[in-house]
Structure 1
Amino acid sequence: MKLKQPPYLFLYLNIISCFLIGINAQETTLIIKAEKPLSQGLRDSLQLQSSYNGFDMVKQKTDTVFLSLLHMGYIDSELRELKKQDDSTYIADFYLGRKYNTLKIYYSKNDFSPKELQKISSQITDTYFLLPFEKTPLSLTKLATIQNQKGNAFARVKLTEIEKDENDELTATLFLDHGNIRTVDSIAIKGYEKFPKSFLKYYAGIKKGKIFDRQKLIKKNENLNSLGFASSTKAPEALFRKDSTIVYFYLEKQNHNQFEGILGFATDEETQKLELNGYLNLQLNNNLNYGEQFLLNYKADGKEQVEFRTKATLPYLFATPFGVSAELKIFKRDSSFVTTEQQLRITYQINPSSQTYIGYRGFESSNLLDEILVGTPIEDSKSKFILSGANYIKNQNKRLFPIKTYLSLDFGLGNRESKKEKENQYLAETRLNNIFYLNHKNSIFAQLTANALFSETYLVNELFRFGGINSIRGFDENSIDASLFSVLNTEYRYQFNESVFAHSIIDFAYFENPTLDLRQKLYSFGFGLGLTTKAGLFRFIVANGSTQEQNFDLGNIKIHVSVTSRF
């Protein structure tokens, strides 16, 4: 029998333990009272519960209520008594006193200017400003941030001499501990040691000697992600030494070479046969760790229209804001003419977003026709232009759409020489596009392109050529000649996720062709789909274009398929 007693003993102990636990876990009520009735709004602000799990939770909540009252402006409040009414009820007796809604803070103009104080207060004099009492902690944090942006990385802001004045209003004095003003004395790059450092200075605007401002450095660091050939792995960090500040950037190299191909399908109006046109684009970026770019472009529309283009760009020569680019274009239209264009530009980086340039453009065209066609002025000619212009780019850290805003203005002054005469000419080109975000997934893209050539007479082989996937969609590539044209491209975009988006196509254009005495409006409607795959960015576009004199015809539909691969 003695051997069987221990199990019963353990059972009795378990029952008693459960009973004691049940007593300790008994729900407890806390009643808050004061010298005056508490409004329902005040009770809601204190976030009072109907019950608490034991005395410890009641005591903790009582302390929280006391701190909350102080933050609300009841600075005279105190807990008079916390007493037990019965086994499950406690009463916390508070003295509230007067609620102070406003705090008058005296300050020195040597610490903060009235303009800086406008960020936290709307009532400012030369000696003091007023703050809503409950916003005081947040406002002090903002003032400390202002000092941090001035290079006072260790600045501290607090209130002293908190008291009541003769009008029984609450006053305080703003105290600023400046700390040491810090500047960026050294910059180090971790991960991608061969990163072209000129991009830090001129592209991102990160320079030695500038006042240390952590928030600005983080923002500028994000700009580096838009380069494509480098990305940030984490936010920059600073090492503060006694007499210097070192800022560390964490970057890694990204493959940013691109290969793009487009296949277009259309029906020949005469033969009703399916035609194939093509487009190839090769971009080599930063393979030498200099930030250089080499571009090779080839287009053929299946109708003996061929375009070849190559361009090389070298930014920030000798670690200066100056760069250089050289470009060659060759265009051939069946057996009518061939043109050759060379451009040389010297660029200057004004700031991280803006760039200006001066340059030279040489243009030469040859007539390939055996005989002159009436009404088609094509002649051998040469032209020379002095160019100038500027552009503005606002990047964004988005994989599918890295550019939010782009604006370019280009002007040229020159002349054309032909067998007949020498003639002065002027040209102007502009492009503006922007993405308007409705929310995270919905946006509207709008782009305006306008080119104009001003001359007394015009030749067919010197006119601008537009139309196609990169111009007004629904028309063949470079199928429209014009001395003046403007194209408005619009897209409503819906982004399913970071890899897939769909968009509408609504394009409008106007152009003038003086060689044909033609002025016409164009329209294009359609839709497109973009998809990021392992092979690259796949785009599928369907568009139908027509003139103001034509009705929409399904036979005019153009289908464009492109894949942009990165390697």
Structure 2
Amino acid sequence: MKISCSILLLLFCVLFKAQQKNYQLIDVENNQKTVVKDSLSAVKFLDSLSQNNYFFTEVKKVEKKENITEIYFHKGKNFNQAQVTVPAEVATFSQLKTEFFTKNVDSLKKTINEKYRNQGYAFNRVKSKFSGMKNSIPQIEISVIKGNQRKIDAFVIKGYEKVPVRFIKNLKKEFQGKRYDDKNLVAINQSLQNHPFLLLDKPPQTLFTKDSTQVFLFLRKKKSNSFDGVIGFGNDKTNKFTFNGSLNINFRNIFNRFETVNVFWQRNPDKGQTFDLQTDIPYLFKSNLGTNINVNIYRQDSTFATVKFLPSIYLHLSSRQKIGIRGRFETSAIIDTLYTQGKDFTKQGIGLWYEFTEPSEIGLFLHKTKIRAEADYISTNYSKENASVIQNNFLFSAERNFHIAGNNYLNLRGETALLNSKNEFVANELLRFGGWNSFRGFNENSIYANLYYYTTAEYRYLVGEQAFFDVFGQYGEFNNKSLQLKPKIYSFGLGFNFVLPIGLMSFQLSNGSEFGNSIKFADTKIHWGILSRF
């Protein structure tokens, strides 16, 4: 019974298929054949030729052979130059005249189509109608079927779906309800490119339905934990060759909350050591509020030790901007009783800070733009003298990578800081800079100042996506009021960075001096480092 039913079903399908008509359109110029399923499709095909500047398409003959209908046609000449008439609404929208001559009808239709697309009319159709010849020039009427204006209605997360709820809400706040156009799609893509915690497996995809436009984001959790080790070689103040270095370990997004725990240790050639512990949680209670808690300990051999505690709370202004308020608690103690340049003190204060970060399209660069500004109001108490003073601390830094041409890039960076007060500062409360991450031709944290600024210009040549070479120069000035020093300094050097299986390796040679003093080869600094992500 089953076999009989199967045979009957097969015969029915064959007979049904045999009864279907087949339409073949044949170009008489080249005998090119186009097969369509029905007469309506055949009419649409011939109409499309007239829409593509074959205004004199002519059907030569029609032949029927059993269930096959053969339509022979001649396209005629392709007229891409024409006198065009455009409706007033379309002309105003596209910033065109209502009547003009064009040498390229195809390009004109594409331009009008793109203008409508950029206003959210994703499915607009630009039609052309041939209305005759005048002085051997085709007369064309352009019309536009706009369709519905599309807006971004929703985001759908695929792949890595454990992203913070507030992150998705911020994405919706920034883009949901905006026009669906290429500009906003590029902005969405850029906002996620080189994100510290996310990877885009492919560009955003779109699902159109009758009533909605949904943007699909295919995300993957990024390997964002990192180990950054730097080894440095150079001479200390006594011209003795010494070893120094730093370790920087970041644990990021372990709990899928975009959180960060950073542990940093550094030893400089002059026996100073820094330990820094920082915790950052960006979305507290699923809100745009975040918190950052920083503990910093600095010990200068057996001379003095300083501890800072900086608790902070901040607001996400956007995906790239933060503004925060912080407390500042600091204490410093003199260990060596013979050390007279420093004093025991405690500080309490409050401060404001702002940060802007723009990701880089180049994976080897940490960011494209970064700006940081800080201002603190501090009350300082010198315990042994039983004296209190008010101080202000300011810092501003900015960095930007510029694309010159081809594989050539220019990195510009500047930083300035000021510790301001009516009284004289003691050595253990002064600002410290110099080294790998600031003024590279000098030892780590070897320059003490109450005011400093410096600028860096670095030329980078990119070799594919695996390496870049750099040459840099730096200029700076600082003021040490207590020692009455106000020198001008400079540094220069070169290096290279390239990707290994274990991470990004950096190697750099640098040297620097004060203007008026000669460069000494013995002062050359060598730094070698590895940045590994896991």
Q: Do they fold alike, i.e. is TM over 0.5?
A: yes
Aligned to 1:278: 245
Aligned to 1:105: 86
Aligned to 2:501: 534
Q: Distance in 2 between matches of 1:424 and 1:129?
A: 74
Q: Distance in 2 between matches of 1:107 and 1:423?
A: 73
Percentage identity across paired residues of the two chains = 26
Measure how far apart 1:207 and its partner are: 4.8
Q: Distance in 1 between matches of 2:130 and 2:293?
A: 68
Please, which runs of 5 or more residues in structure 1 have no aligned partner?
1-54, 61-69, 80-91
Residue 211 of structure 2 is aligned to residue 243 of structure 1: yes
Measure how far apart 1:214 and its partner are: 5.5
Aligned to 1:40: none
Measure how far apart 1:538 and its partner are: 0.6
Q: Which has the higher mean CA deviation after the structures are superposed, 394-403 or 533-542?
A: 394-403
The partner residue of 1:223 within 191, 196, 199 is 191
Q: Distance in 2 between matches of 1:155 and 1:76?
A: 22
Alignment: residue pair count: 475
Q: Indicate if the aligned counterparts of 1:76 and 1:96 stay in contact, CA closer than 8 A.
A: yes
Residue 348 of structure 2 is aligned to residue 384 of structure 1: yes
Aligned to 2:478: 511
Aligned to 1:456: 422
The partner residue of 2:300 within 304, 328, 333 is 333
Measure how far apart 1:473 and its partner are: 0.7
Measure how far apart 1:297 and its partner are: 0.4
The partner residue of 1:117 within 71, 87, 94 is 94
The partner residue of 1:260 within 228, 249, 271 is 228
Aligned to 1:471: 438
Q: Indicate if the aligned counterparts of 1:218 and 1:235 stay in contact, CA closer than 8 A.
A: no
Per-residue CA deviation, residues 103-124 of structure 1 (Å, 9 max, x unaligned), is 452332xx78x5x635xx5xx6
Aligned to 1:154: 123
Q: Identify if the C-alpha distance between structure 1 residues 143 and 382 changes in structure 2 by more than 3 Å, giving closer, same or farther.
A: farther
Measure how far apart 1:268 and its partner are: 4.5
Per-residue CA deviation, residues 430-458 of structure 1 (Å, 9 max, x unaligned), is 11111111223111111011111111122
Aligned to 2:280: 313
Q: Indicate if the aligned counterparts of 1:200 and 1:206 stay in contact, CA closer than 8 A.
A: no
**Equivalent residues in 2 for 1:42-53, closer than 5 Å:** none
RMSD: 3.5
Q: Identify if the C-alpha distance between structure 1 residues 516 and 182 changes in structure 2 by more than 3 Å, giving closer, same or farther.
A: same
Aligned to 1:82: none
Measure how far apart 1:95 and its partner are: 9.0
Q: Indicate if the aligned counterparts of 1:103 and 1:172 stay in contact, CA closer than 8 A.
A: yes
Residue 453 of structure 2 is aligned to residue 486 of structure 1: yes
The partner residue of 1:520 within 465, 487, 490 is 487
The alignment's TM-score, normalised by the length of structure 2, stands at: 0.79
Q: Indicate if the aligned counterparts of 2:261 and 2:277 stay in contact, CA closer than 8 A.
A: yes
Q: Distance in 1 between matches of 2:462 and 2:370?
A: 21
Per-residue CA deviation, residues 471-516 of structure 1 (Å, 9 max, x unaligned), is 0112110000111111211211111221111111211111111011
Aligned to 1:500: 467
Residue 422 of structure 2 is aligned to residue 422 of structure 1: no
Q: Identify if the C-alpha distance between structure 1 residues 564 and 203 changes in structure 2 by more than 3 Å, giving closer, same or farther.
A: farther
Q: Distance in 1 between matches of 2:56 and 2:372?
A: 64
Q: Identify if the C-alpha distance between structure 1 residues 158 and 337 changes in structure 2 by more than 3 Å, giving closer, same or farther.
A: farther
Measure how far apart 1:197 and its partner are: 4.1
Q: Distance in 1 between matches of 2:171 and 2:524?
A: 42
**Equivalent residues in 2 for 1:18-417, closer than 5 Å:** 103-108=84-89, 117-118=94-95, 121=96, 128=98, 132-134=102-104, 136-159=105-128, 172=141, 174-179=143-148, 181-202=149-170, 207-213=175-181, 215-268=183-236, 270=238, 273-371=240-338, 373=340, 376=341, 378-417=342-381
Q: Distance in 1 between matches of 2:347 and 2:100?
A: 69
Per-residue CA deviation, residues 146-195 of structure 1 (Å, 9 max, x unaligned), is 44444443333445686799xx996745434232x444443222111212
**Equivalent residues in 2 for 1:534-553, closer than 5 Å:** 534-553=501-520
Q: Distance in 2 between matches of 1:555 and 1:345?
A: 43
Aligned to 2:5: none
Please, which runs of 5 or more residues in structure 2 have no aligned partner?
1-26, 33-49, 59-73
Q: Identify if the C-alpha distance between structure 1 residues 146 and 78 changes in structure 2 by more than 3 Å, giving closer, same or farther.
A: closer
Q: Indicate if the aligned counterparts of 2:129 and 2:142 stay in contact, CA closer than 8 A.
A: yes
The residue type paired with residue 368 of structure 2 is K
Q: Identify if the C-alpha distance between structure 1 residues 193 and 96 changes in structure 2 by more than 3 Å, giving closer, same or farther.
A: closer
The alignment's TM-score, normalised by the length of structure 1, stands at: 0.75
Q: Indicate if the aligned counterparts of 1:524 and 1:546 stay in contact, CA closer than 8 A.
A: yes
Aligned to 1:67: none
Per-residue CA deviation, residues 263-321 of structure 1 (Å, 9 max, x unaligned), is 11113464x54311120000011111111111110011243201011111111223322
